[in-house]
Amino acid sequence: MLWLLLIPLLPSAALLLLWIVGERGHLILPSTRRAISQSNSDGRRRGILAAIHGYVYGRWTFQYIKFCIDSLVPKMTPRLKLWWADHYHGKVLTTELACEIVKLDHDIKRTDLEQIIPYRKARDIVLRGSPPVTLLECPCRHARENPCSPTQVCMVVGGGDFVLEHHPGKSRRVNQQEALGLLRAEHDRGHVHTAYFKDACNDRFYAICNCCSCCCGGLEAMVKHGVPMVTSSGYVAEVDETACIACGDCEDSCPFEAITVNGKSTVDWERCMGCGVCEGRCELDAIGLILDRRKGLPLDVRHMAVPAGTD
């Protein structure tokens, strides 16, 4: 029975073997070795299982997301939903705020983000100036039979080497202007910008996803299955009743089912995530976003802490 005592050591031994083989035989890609080296970055020891989870997520992203959408999320218990949201969560961004992240020209370290990202795992954020942006085929759209297009709309912000090396046919690096153009085009299509933070990626800001309500697993998990994994942008939609003609465009376009029209448009404050899709759809400018601190503070890099390395 002595061999049973060795079972807990197997993951560590397997990871060590991968490292050695990669150094000498180049059987694993350089980005994999860097990911292993960075698994304990920022002084936070993530542990061997967390490192393996991060590798599995990055290496088999499409299979991972499809399994979550089809099999895992629909069967979650209430307790598991809360746990999942804490480890895999997003912050809705307006188009303006999403563009500011892409245009960031200096490093920012901001701590104490409870009012911006109210999840236990999101204790701090480090945002790098002039971040490289890598477009990845959207795993959520990839998992659907008839996905929305275009499909290459997931924006890995900062890093991205792992994605490029492991998904060469489904990813590409883009410059700042291409990234900004994509954000604006996705807004025009009625899609939601969401900044995602994932513990599979060292508990850090990972990507800006451009989400449609029909394909996105995160929005589906929240709206259909009650998983509180997306938090408000810090804004809420407000209707100008004198201009509203109750055409229903805002109701039809709202990805969070937060608007109803019965003679006039009415916004459900609890459901509204302040994404701005309704604002972009209203031709009469009868609905717009207003800042509401009860919904949390916006993730606005222009108003965050001083640049890293300064007093």
CATH of the domain at 287: 3.30.70.20
Instruction: Determine, yes or no, domain membership for 4.
Output: no
Closest C-alpha to 182, from 120, 118, 99, 123: 99
Phi, psi of 111 (to 5 degrees): -110, 175
Which residues have CB under 8 Å from 236's CB, separation 6+? 267, 269, 272, 274, 289, 290, 292, 295
- Give residue 231's pLDDT: 92
What pTM, to 2 d.p., does this model score?
A: 0.82
Question: Is 284 in the same domain as 146?
Answer: no
Instruction: Determine, yes or no, domain membership for 145.
Output: yes
- Residue numbers of the domain that contains 167: 54-231+297-303
Question: Is 195 in the same domain as 282?
Answer: no
Residue 1 pLDDT grade (very low, low, confident, very high; cuts 50, 70, 90): very low
Question: Is 65 in the same domain as 188?
Answer: yes
Taking the C-alpha atoms of residue 191 and residue 213, their distance in angstroms, rounded to an integer, is 8
Question: Is 147 in the same domain as 171?
Answer: yes
How many domains are there within the chain? 2
Question: Is 75 in the same domain as 136?
Answer: yes
- Give residue 36's pLDDT: 58
Q: Work out the mean pLDDT of the chain and round it to a whole number.
A: 83
Question: Is 117 in the same domain as 194?
Answer: yes
Q: Is 174 helix (H, G, I), strand (E, B) or coil?
A: strand
Question: Is 277 in the same domain as 209?
Answer: no
Question: Is 123 in the same domain as 254?
Answer: no
pLDDT exceeds 60 at position 302: yes
Question: Is 222 in the same domain as 85?
Answer: yes
Instruction: Determine, yes or no, domain membership for 308.
Output: no
Instruction: Determine, yes or no, domain membership for 147.
Output: yes
Instruction: Determine, yes or no, domain membership for 172.
Output: yes
Closest C-alpha to 280, from 149, 142, 183: 183
pLDDT exceeds 60 at position 92: yes
Question: Is 242 in the same domain as 211?
Answer: no
Instruction: Determine, yes or no, domain membership for 24.
Output: no
Taking the C-alpha atoms of residue 110 and residue 11, their distance in angstroms, rounded to an integer, is 34
Instruction: Determine, yes or no, domain membership for 31.
Output: no
Closest C-alpha to 173, from 132, 226, 115, 114: 132
Question: Is 182 in the same domain as 202?
Answer: yes
Instruction: Determine, yes or no, domain membership for 277.
Output: yes
Q: Name the E strands within 122-166.
A: 124-127, 133-136, 154-157
| C-alpha gyration radius of the chain | 21
Question: Is 112 in the same domain as 200?
Answer: yes
Residue 95 pLDDT grade (very low, low, confident, very high; cuts 50, 70, 90): very high
pLDDT exceeds 50 at position 298: yes
